[in-house]
Structure 1
Amino acid sequence: MTELNVRPDGAITVTSGDDVLTYTPYAVTTPDGQRIAHESRGGSLVGVWSAQVGDAFVEVSYLGDGPAGGELVMVVTLPGEPPRVALGALIAPEAPSADVPDSWPAAVDLALGLIADSTLDSGSKDEIESFHQRLLEVVHDL
């Protein structure tokens, strides 16, 4: 049986037996100890990486820079369940009042297409849509 757990430190684990994949906003550690990170964070990931952990299909994507750059999104699909999504640092506690990187709203827009109802770490789809609108308001000085 594969389990998903959100740890107190915010990391998310996908566990099947002795295999553990650990997701953080900027890097993923695979069951064999490999570190997956975007190239801007010293890794080799440019777009998408995927793996099977037990009966879970795990996909890690770089959708574009968020507030700091190199943020990763993880989608975990278990048989018979809707995909579970982690947005990590792509979503901030509050939208900034200025200086939003141009790619941040686009990355959040792409992430919205992955969410069924809620995320593992960033709230509901409605909350993410509201955050996206606030980012667009800042970018377009509304």
Structure 2
Amino acid sequence: MSIRDDGTIEVVDGEQVLVYTPYAVTAPDGTTVAHESRGGQMAAVWAGAVGEAFVEVSHLGHGPEGGELVMVVTRPGHSPDVALGALVTDDIPATVPDSWPAAVDLAIGLIVDTTLDSGTKDDVEAFHQRLLGVWFGHG
């Protein structure tokens, strides 16, 4: 996986390219995958392949805007790559949607060491604690 100049993430294997944004994925065959809350057909999980890479895109719960997607890419002989997109943000609003802390908690379980777009597992865990503080009215 690599981050493009426009902030999208791509998974490439030869001629096959998958493009990930926090709210939609374009598969190598041109199919666009988005959560149903954003007009897509996906309710929870979509999976596909890019060459030898297995790609799983999940909606773990709504984050700050709703419909945020998480992507895990597994290649033979490599640790998984994880992209959390807009599920982890720089700022936390004064009101936190009910499913956001749970979605981040589930995402933490996917991280081996680092994520491509959200820092280390420790960074995501610290964000989760700040998010919980706001959600419980202590932030």
TM-score of the aligned structures, taking structure 2 as reference length: 0.97
Q: Does 1:110 align with 2:106?
A: yes
Give the deviation of 1:95 after TM superposition.
2.4
Unaligned runs of 5+ in 1: none
- Larger mean CA deviation between 87-96 and 28-37 belongs to 87-96
Match of 1:119 among 112, 115, 122: 115
One-letter identity of the residue aligned with 1:132: H
Match of 1:139 among 114, 135, 138: 135
Moved over 4 A (4+): none
Match of 2:57 among 57, 60, 73: 60
One-letter identity of the residue aligned with 1:82: S
Match of 2:90 in 1: 93
TM-score of the aligned structures, taking structure 1 as reference length: 0.95
Aligned equivalents of 1:123, 1:66: Cα separation in 2: 18
One-letter identity of the residue aligned with 2:52: D
Aligned equivalents of 2:87, 2:110: Cα separation in 1: 13
One-letter identity of the residue aligned with 1:19: Q
Give the deviation of 1:31 after TM superposition.
0.5
Match of 1:75 in 2: 72
What is the aligned-residue RMSD (CA, Å)? 0.7
One-letter identity of the residue aligned with 2:118: S
Aligned length: 138
* Identity across the alignment (%): 65
Give the deviation of 1:43 after TM superposition.
0.3
Instruction: Give deviations 1:1-33, integer Å, cap 9, x for gaps.
Output: xxx211121111111111110000000001111
Give the deviation of 1:94 after TM superposition.
2.2
Aligned equivalents of 1:23, 1:49: Cα separation in 2: 12
Aligned equivalents of 2:60, 2:17: Cα separation in 1: 24
Match of 1:41 in 2: 38
